[in-house]
Amino acid sequence: MVSPAIALAFVPLLLTLLIRYRYFFVLFYRAVLVRVWRDCVTGLSREERAYQYVLTHSTPGDPDSILDAFDVWCSKVEYISNIGPKKGKILDRLLMEQSPLTVLELGAHCGYSTVRIARALPLGARLYTIEMDQGNAAITEKIIRLAGFDDDTVELIVNPSDEVIPRLRSDYNLERLDFVFMDHWKKCYLPDLQLLEGCGLLGKGSVILADNVLFPGAPKFLRYLRKCGLYEWKIHRATLEYSTGIRDGMAELIYQGIK
């Protein structure tokens, strides 16, 4: 039995930890505890719950209203790791500047960033989005169609990225990717970047935007960028999607070719 005096001695420490890491506690509460509780009560996954909300609070064929509905749901009701509106604007701006014709997205989840990318593409451009989770891919497919994009504009590929990337040339006739958005598991960033390089899918000027390089973080990926000399790159500082206190960043890379 712990004496009350010893228990009391821990109170200041606990309070300090609570204050210092309050944003992480809030995130854990919203992303894990609320989710588990709602999964049990509704019998739906959080992606299906988000989809139900978007379906009933957006206008079919209007990508803006779909993104708005997602943003309301994720900021007010239930956390989902969409890129969100703030970092989304950085993505929008780069797409507007680059006008890429061939775009690859790694990690679609519910299709939020997929819609964000597709609505910014110039006429005739094509987005290939890779999602390995069948359930998430099913939601993404419905969101893409709800937004009004057809197969000619967005192609969803349901498989892990390390299986798909080596087949992009042979199975999808891709020669060069103008823009790559990386937002899948952070441990895959470096191997997949090296796969893209090895398969010759990057050309001089290809842009890669990688989300969450500071939180949860992709240290090996950043270390490689510092060392390899293949990219001009910088980090756009931001906060984690749908939160204010957790610092995050997106890495923007421009491929310079083999030196």
If one asks whether residue 206 binds ligand SAM (CB under 6 A), the answer comes out as no
Nearer to ligand SAM, 98 or 161 (CB): 161
Tell me the sheet residues that pair with 155. 128
CA nearest neighbour of 211 among 232, 180, 165, 254: 180
Nearer to ligand SAM, 204 or 247 (CB): 247
Q: Which stretch binds ligand SAM (CB under 6 A): 5-13, 94-102, 125-133, 147-155?
A: 125-133
Nearer to ligand SAM, 115 or 257 (CB): 115
Question: Binding string to ligand SAM for residues 130 to 149, with x set by CB under 6 A, is what?
Answer: xxxx--x-------------
Out of 183, 201, 209, 222, name the contact with ligand SAM by CB under 6 A: 183
Say whether 241 is catalytic: yes
CA nearest neighbour of 164 among 136, 191, 141, 186: 191
Rg (alpha carbons) of the chain, rounded to whole number = 20
Please tell me what DSSP assigns to residue 116.
H
Residue 59 burial (C-beta neighbours within 10 Å; 0-12, 13-18, 19+): middle
Q: Which stretch binds ligand SAM (CB under 6 A): 1-9, 29-37, 105-113, 224-232?
A: 105-113
Distance CA 137, CA 173 (A): 22
Judge contact between 107 and 184, C-beta under 8 A.
Answer: yes
CB of 52 to ligand SAM, least distance (A): 17
Nearer to ligand SAM, 107 or 126 (CB): 107
Say whether 131 is catalytic: no
If one asks whether residue 129 binds ligand SAM (CB under 6 A), the answer comes out as no
If one asks whether residue 102 binds ligand SAM (CB under 6 A), the answer comes out as no
Please identify the residue of the shown chain whose CB is closest to the bound ligand SAM. 107
Residues 6+ apart with CB under 8 A from 46: 35, 38, 39, 78, 80
Peptide bond into 63 cis (omega under 30): no
Out of 98, 102, 113, 239, name the contact with ligand SAM by CB under 6 A: 113
Distance CA 233, CA 247 (A): 19
Judge contact between 78 and 46, C-beta under 8 A.
Answer: yes
Judge contact between 168 and 174, C-beta under 8 A.
Answer: yes
If one asks whether residue 161 binds ligand SAM (CB under 6 A), the answer comes out as yes
Which of 105, 178, 186, 252 is flagged as catalytic?
A: 186
Which of 183, 192, 248, 252 is flagged as catalytic?
A: 183
CB of 115 to ligand SAM, least distance (A): 8
Tell me the sheet residues that pair with 255. 231
Say whether 152 is catalytic: no
**Chain residues in the site for ligand SAM (CB under 6 A):** 81-83, 107-109, 112-113, 130-133, 136, 160-161, 183-185, 188
Instruction: Show which residues are catalytic.
Output: 183, 186, 211-212, 241
